[in-house]
Structure 1
Amino acid sequence: MLWIELLRWAHVIGATVLLGTGAGIAFFMVMAHRTKDAALIAHVAGTVVVADWIFTASAVVLQPITGLLLAKAIGWPLTQGWLMLSIGLYVLTGMFWLPVVWIQAQLRDLARAAAKSGEPLPPRYHKLYRIWFACGFPAFFAVLWIVWLMTARPSF
């Protein structure tokens, strides 16, 4: 029983890290972008890239492991509707997160170059930022939905 409680705790912590880091990263990137200050954007984006690799990536790896172990320990078949939907939403989230990580690094590099040269942020920065911003919504709402599925475990 302790094993199940530890798995459940680890899984909830992972979900919290995914949701919290995603929301925090989005907030700080948006606030930095609004300043139009290339040096500030470069600094924040650099921190965001590191945070994504340390926190989000580790949670992304551990979530399916703790989830599968928890389901097996409790005896939940992975074919249950809420579990299948959660897994599908997790994959969908990943499909948006992977490009976002790359885009964040590009935004950082473009802002660094603009700050170093004293030039304004280039059009490519603005285009990538709009893509980054748009990708955040489906990923964030998918994670919210997954957390709801984890806690409610509705029967389909």
Structure 2
Amino acid sequence: MAYLLFKLLHIVAVVLFLGNVTTGVFWVRHAARHRSPPHLAEAMAGVIRSDRVFTVPAVLVIIASGGLAAWLGGWPLLRTGWLGLGIGLFVLSGLVFAALAPLQHRLQVLAARADTRWEDCQPLLRRWNRIGLASLLPAWMALAAMVLKLPA
């Protein structure tokens, strides 16, 4: 029974994590359609806040509950192909996100300044989009690897 509870907790945390990072991209792109630095600053501030409230705690719960569920279920973490692949992709996503987090803050600060023009935001926003996609894709691939139990 404990295995199933940790598995459930793990799945709930994954839903929160993927939902939050995916909708963050949506809201920033939605704000960018206005081509307005204040809109972008507000969206980016919301993304940063939601990362603190949802993404970071979800990551901690994913790691703890996934590890405990695997241990209780008798799955060797790194010797089970689909677990190793999923963990590797999740770690890759996190490493790429480590480059994205400071960029989010820089973009939010720049867009919040009264003298910032839309053209000033575009290079950082393009970079944020590229790095964000590079972080988001392995996270979704990790989900597929885990659910489909893909071999490594």
- The TM-score normalised by the length of structure 2 is 0.92
**Corresponding residue for 1:136?**
132
Residue identity matched to 1:81: G
Partner SS, residue 99 of structure 1: helix
The corresponding residue for 2:67 is 68
Aligned to 1:111: 111
**Partner amino acid, structure 1, of 2:70:** A
Separation in 2 of the partners of 1:112 and 1:155? 46
Find 1:147's aligned residue among 119, 143, 146: 143
Matches within 5 A, 1:1-156: 1=1, 3-78=2-77, 79-113=79-113, 116-117=114-115, 119-121=116-118, 123=120, 125-155=121-151
Question: Contact 1:42 / 1:112 at 8 angstroms: preserved in 2?
Answer: yes
Deviations 1:32-73 (A, max 9, x none): 112111111111111111001111111112211111101000
| Amino acid across the alignment from 1:15 | V
Question: Structure 1 segments of 4 or more deviating over 6 A?
Answer: none
- The alignment partner of 2:118 has SS state of coil
* Deviation of 1:122 (Å): 5.3
Segments of 5+ residues of structure 2 without an aligned counterpart are none
Single out whichever of 145-154 and 18-27 deviates more from structure 2.
Answer: 145-154
1:116-149 Cα deviation digits (max 9, x unpaired): 23x41353x3222111101122322211111112
Query: Which secondary structure does the structure 2 equivalent of 1:137 belong to?
Result: helix
Counterpart residue type for residue 59 of structure 1 = A
| Matches of 1:28 and 1:15, distance apart in 2 | 20
Contact 2:85 2:151 in 1 (8 A): no
| Separation in 2, partners of 1:91, 1:128 | 24
User: Distance between the aligned counterparts of 2:11 and 2:105, measured in 1?
Assistant: 28
* Inter-partner Cα distance in structure 1 for 2:90 and 2:62: 9
Q: 1:38 to 1:72 in 2, by over 3 A?
A: same
Q: Distance in 2 between matches of 1:87 and 1:153?
A: 12
Q: Which deviates further from its counterpart, 84-93 or 132-141?
A: 132-141
Aligned-residue Cα RMSD (Å) equals 1.5
Task: Mark the runs of 5 or more structure 1 residues left unpaired by the alignment.
Answer: none
Report the number of matched residues: 151
1:76 shift after superposition: 0.2
